[in-house]
Amino acid sequence: MTLQPPKSNTSATTSGCFHLKQRNVHYSTQHKYSQNMEVATTKGVLSHLSRLEVQKRSLKSQPQQPGGVKALRATVEALLTQRDQLRAEIQTHKNIKKLRVSMDKQCTNEEEETEEGMDEDSENSNLLRLMARHTQLKDLLHAHNVVGGYNVVKTRQGKGVCVSVATFYEGVYLNTYNLEIDVKPTVRISRHNVPPFIPLNNLAEQSNMQTDLRTLLDPLSQHLNAFAGRQQQFKFVKELHKSVEVMESNVLCSLLVLKFTVPREKTAVLCSLDYTDCTRSLPTRVHFESDGRICLVQKFPRLYITCHLADAFIKRDL
pLDDT at residue 200 in the model: 92
- List, in sequence order, the alpha helices (H) in the chain: 10-61, 68-105, 108-116, 125-146, 200-206, 214-240, 302-306, 309-317
pLDDT beneath 50, residues of the chain: 1-15, 17-18, 20-21, 25-27, 33, 37, 39-40, 107-108, 110-117, 296, 318
- List, in sequence order, the alpha helices (H) in 243-297: none
What are the sequence ranges of the domains in the chain?
78-115+124-145, 151-227, 241-317
Both ends of the chain: CA-CA distance in Å? Answer: 126
β-pair partners for 257? 248, 272
pLDDT digits (tens, 9 = 90+) for 29-88: 555 545 554 544 555 667 767 777 777 777 666 555 556 788 888 899 999 999 999 998
Mean pLDDT of the chain: 74
Share of the chain above pLDDT 70, in %: 64
Q: Which residues neighbour 45 within 8 Å (Cβ) at sequence distance 6 or greater?
A: none
Neighbouring C-alpha atoms within 13 Å toward the C-beta of 26:
6
Query: Which has the closest alpha carbon to 246: 282, 280, 273?
Result: 273
